[in-house]
């Protein structure tokens, strides 16, 4: 078990900078997820921690020791790959024990560790099978087993669930969480799936263009995003953004979306945004759950308006409604009994108590 | 109001059903036609050899039907298999082939692994270079090689020409490049994560090669082995040039030089010798055919 630190880590491929000087501290026992779109540098960062890629600049520390020039085998890490990377000519038990056998562990110890890991992952019956006789989910369990038996300082997961179908992915996600709860090993997990990131992580690191956009707990990222990128990347369906500006109407601060549509801000928000310039180009950010059907009676901060729905998506427990507001496509979540239908008008409301205001140029959340 | 009659009938052409299976039938007929043709072309010479090997010299020289044995005899086989000379050729061939295959594998497998996986400066150029050396025909090389061994003999006093083991130095120039090329393709088709997993598990490059790559690429390894064996067993030009004494000859050259005396061709024994000489590769093919085919297809799709 150990903490992992990255200090101004850079990775350059010829002219291209894949990772642009990131700083990250991962505490002992912590489960940290690196998330971001393809090409954001998350896998490269993980591979640098593993030692599979050299770092161009900066320092990587595992358990307080700088490991920049330490080969992967001496870093005491274990890695689970997207395509499992099981040795096809070995049985499950041989796959799991390969690392221990290379280090000449006593046979009895190897056996007990493999048995224990197999029991933990519920693959005891498969121990003598070859990888080709296993399903995708079983293979991924074996790959995890191979990591667990080594009892390493750090677990590294590189998009381990991407090759599985949706149902199995949910199941394995829970499985990974359970394993972490049992073994408590420091874990760095890479994924492009924000749901995976949110559900698994103690802390999520959102990366974009080789930089860290924001680090925080899943709830922090969801409710207090720092940038437009984080706000739009975390959450499904994504946050709505509508161009807007602030104006003073009768001594009250309003947010004006269109010529016809302007909402007074609730007192807390008004106080927060009072100092902003009235001429700045801004974006109103609203999560779909904060665009809902209008209530029969007025509530503070809930402002009704009329919309014509383009498309509705009944999800069972709720219906997603899509409509256009002055050129911006918006998504809302309404009660399935609210009478939402494709192409029909519906009275909706925005919850400004949970609004975000962003600078349209810099993308910063204000 | 005038009424308009509309012709509701469709196009007059008859709809063809089962055209797919008809196309398939024709494709099959053509393939069988060419396969039969191919089989005749490739099987007639060995059949002719077999028939002739079962004839006595009198029957061969008599103008009877060449496709029929009137007085079958094993005389040719008995003579060859009891002749020390022929057995000597056989052993020479066997030793040369076995040692060459071993040398080839010991060089080309690590070389291919290095070229396919350990990315170093110039590795891609080197890999292409390996293949290009294979393209140089042996008929171009034998004179310079002969000269080289002659010079080595003059300088060091170690005489290699006219010794069967000189072939151990020469054959690998043919087998190593090609086997390396096959193995590069094979190793390149193994997912990168597999060696990364091995490295993280604590394996050295050598352990990754011996414990992961060689077992996984076994079909390719067998294909390369068969190739190296066939090349060494059937090579004619180099042994003809480099060996002359009867006790140093390998099978293909031995048969030609000892069984053709001036303008007298001992056809019965020549055919028998050729058949017996073809037996070892044939047996190896028969046992390892599945692996060989797997090896060929892997080479075809990769690299």
Q: Domain locations in chain B?
A: 19-53, 76-301
Residue of A nearest to B218 (CA): A89
Quick one: pLDDT band at residue B299, thresholds 50, 70, 90?
A: very low
For residue B297, pLDDT over 80 is answered with no
A103: nearest CA partner in chain B:
B202
Mean pLDDT of A163-172: 86
* A82, A102, A150 ranked by CB distance to B203: nearest: A102
Interatomic CA distance for residues B267 and B54, integer angstroms:
11
Q: Per the structure block, which two tokens stand in for A84?
A: 């499992």
Q: How many CB atoms lie within 10 A of CB A289?
A: 15
> Between 3.40.50.300, 1.10.3720.10, 3.40.50.9100, 3.90.650.10, what CATH number should domain B76-301 receive?
1.10.3720.10
Minimal CA separation from B107 to chain A, in Å: 24
Mean pLDDT, rounded, for A92-114: 93
Rg (CA), chain A: 25
* Mean pLDDT, all residues of chain A: 90
- How far apart are alpha carbons A44 and A25 in whole angstroms? 17
| Residue B6, pLDDT score | 54
Average confidence (pLDDT) over A176-203: 91
**CA–CA separation, A185 and A176 (whole Å):** 12
Q: Is the pLDDT of residue B193 over 80?
A: yes
Give yes or no for a contact between A31 and A198, defined as CB atoms under 8 angstroms apart: no
Q: Do residues A176 and A160 make contact, with C-beta atoms less than 8 angstroms apart?
A: yes
Find, among A239, A254, A224, A270, the residue nearest to A365 by Cα: A224
The pLDDT-based confidence of B118 (bands split at 50, 70, 90) is confident
* Segment B242-283, tens digit of pLDDT: 998 888 889 889 988 888 887 888 888 899 999 989 888 888
Check: CB of residue A88 under 8 Å from CB of residue A130: yes
Q: What is the band of A77 on the pLDDT scale with cuts at 50, 70, 90?
A: very high
Residue range B112-120: average pLDDT?
89
Q: Quote the CA–CA distance of A115 and A260 in Å, as a whole number.
A: 69
Domains, chain A, ranges and CATH? 4-226 (3.40.50.300), 240-359 (2.40.50.140)
pTM: 0.80
**Best to test chain A binding among B189, B202, B206, B210 (most A CBs inside 10 Å):** B202
- Kindly tell me if the per-residue pLDDT of A362 is higher than 80: yes
In this predicted model, which residue has the larger pLDDT, B2 or A156? A156
The Cα B154–Cα B161 span in angstroms is: 11
Is the ipTM, as predicted for this complex, more than 0.90?
no
**Cross-chain CB nearest to A73 (options B199, B211, B215):** B199
pLDDT tens for each residue of B43-102: 999 999 999 999 888 888 887 888 888 888 888 899 888 888 889 999 999 999 999 999
Q: What is the pLDDT of residue B105?
A: 95
Phi, psi of A243 (to 5 degrees): -60, 140
pLDDT digit string, tens, across residues A241-262: 999 989 888 888 888 888 888 8
Please give the pLDDT value at position A249.
85
Nearest CA in chain A to B207: A102
Check: CB of residue B51 under 8 Å from CB of residue B64.
no
**Dist. CA A68–CA A55, nearest whole Å:** 7
- Residue range B53-66, pLDDT digits in tens: 998 888 888 878 88
Check A50 against B207: CB less than 8 A apart.
no
Summarize the confidence of residues A176-186 as an average pLDDT: 89
Could you tell me which residue, A90 or B15, shows the higher pLDDT? A90
Residues B118, B127: contact at Cβ < 8 Å? no
Q: Do residues A289 and A238 lie in contact, with contact meaning Cβ atoms separated by under 8 Å?
A: no
- What are the phi and psi torsion angles at A365 (to 5°)? -85, 130
Q: What's the pLDDT at B15? A: 56
């Amino acid at each position: 078990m150990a903490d992992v630190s990255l200090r101004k880590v850079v990775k350059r491929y010829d002219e291209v900078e894949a990772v642009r000087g990131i700083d990250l501290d991962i505490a002992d026992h912590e489960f940290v997820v690196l998330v971001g779109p393809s090409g954001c540098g998350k896998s490269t960062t993980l591979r640098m921690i593993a030692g599979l890629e050299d770092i161009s600049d900066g320092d990587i520390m595992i358990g307080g020791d700088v490991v920049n020039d330490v080969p992967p085998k001496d870093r005491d890490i274990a890695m689970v790959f997207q395509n499992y990377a099981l040795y096809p000519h070995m049985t499950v038990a041989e796959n799991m024990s390969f690392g221990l056998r290379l280090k000449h562990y006593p046979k009895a110890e190897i056996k007990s560790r493999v048995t224990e890991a197999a029991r933990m992952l519920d693959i005891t019956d498969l121990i003598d099978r070859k990888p080709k006789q296993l399903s995708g989910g079983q293979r991924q369990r074996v790959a995890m087993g191979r990591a667990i038996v080594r009892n390493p300082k750090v677990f590294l997961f590189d998009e381990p669930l991407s090759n599985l179908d949706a149902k199995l992915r949910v199941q394995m996600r829970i499985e990974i969480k359970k394993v972490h709860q049992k073994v408590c090993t420091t874990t760095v997990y890479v994924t492009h799936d924000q749901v995976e990131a949110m559900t698994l992580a103690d802390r999520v690191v959102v990366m974009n263009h080789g930089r860290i956009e924001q680090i925080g707990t899943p709830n922090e990222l969801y409710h207090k995003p720092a940038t437009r990128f984080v706000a739009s990347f975390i959450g499904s369906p994504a946050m709505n953004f509508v161009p807007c500006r602030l104006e003073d109407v009768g001594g009250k601060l309003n947010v004006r979306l269109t010529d016809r549509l302007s909402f007074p801000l609730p007192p807390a928000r008004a106080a927060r945004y009072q100092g902003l310039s009235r001429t700045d180009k801004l974006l109103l950010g609203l999560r779909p759950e904060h665009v809902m059907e209008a209530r029969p009676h007025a509530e503070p901060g809930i402002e009704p308006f009329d919309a014509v729905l383009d498309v509705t998506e009944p999800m069972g427990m709720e219906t997603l409604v899509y409509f256009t507001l002055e050129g911006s496509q918006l998504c809302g979540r309404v009660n399935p009994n609210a009478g939402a239908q494709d192409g029909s008008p519906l009275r909706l409301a925005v919850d400004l108590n949970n609004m975000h205001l962003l600078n349209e140029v810099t993308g910063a959340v204000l | 109001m005038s009424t308009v009659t509309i012709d509701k009938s469709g196009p007059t052409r008859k709809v063809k059903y089962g055209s797919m299976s008809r196309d398939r039938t024709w494709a099959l007929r053509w393939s069988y036609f060419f396969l039969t043709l191919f089989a005749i072309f490739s099987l007639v010479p060995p059949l002719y050899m077999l028939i002739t090997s079962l004839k006595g010299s009198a029957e061969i020289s008599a103008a009877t039907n060449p496709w029929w044995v009137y007085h079958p005899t094993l005389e040719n086989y008995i003579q060859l298999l009891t002749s020390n000379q022929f057995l000597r050729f056989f052993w020479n061939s066997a030793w040369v082939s076995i040692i060459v295959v071993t040398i080839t594998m010991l060089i080309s497998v690590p070389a291919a692994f290095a070229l396919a996986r350990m990315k170093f400066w110039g590795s891609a150029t080197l890999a292409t270079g390996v293949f290009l050396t294979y393209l140089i025909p042996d008929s171009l090389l034998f004179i310079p090689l002969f000269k080289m061994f002659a010079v080595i003999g003059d300088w060091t006093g170690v005489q290699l020409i006219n010794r069967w083991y000189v072939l151990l130095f020469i054959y690998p120039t043919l087998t190593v490049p090609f086997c390396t090329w096959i193995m590069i393709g094979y190793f390149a088709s193994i997912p990168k994560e597999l060696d990364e997993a091995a490295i993280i598990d604590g394996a050295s490059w050598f352990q990754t090669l011996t414990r992961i790559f060689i077992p996984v690429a076994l079909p390719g390894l067998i294909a390369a082995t068969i190739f190296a064996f066939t090349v060494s067993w059937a090579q004619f030009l180099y042994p003809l040039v480099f060996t002359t004494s009867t006790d140093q000859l390998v099978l293909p050259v031995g048969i030609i030089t000892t069984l053709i005396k001036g303008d007298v061709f001992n056809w019965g024994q020549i055919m028998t010798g050729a058949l017996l000489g073809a037996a070892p590769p044939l047996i190896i093919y028969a046992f390892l055919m599945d692996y060989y085919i797997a090896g060929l297809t892997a080479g075809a799709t990769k690299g």
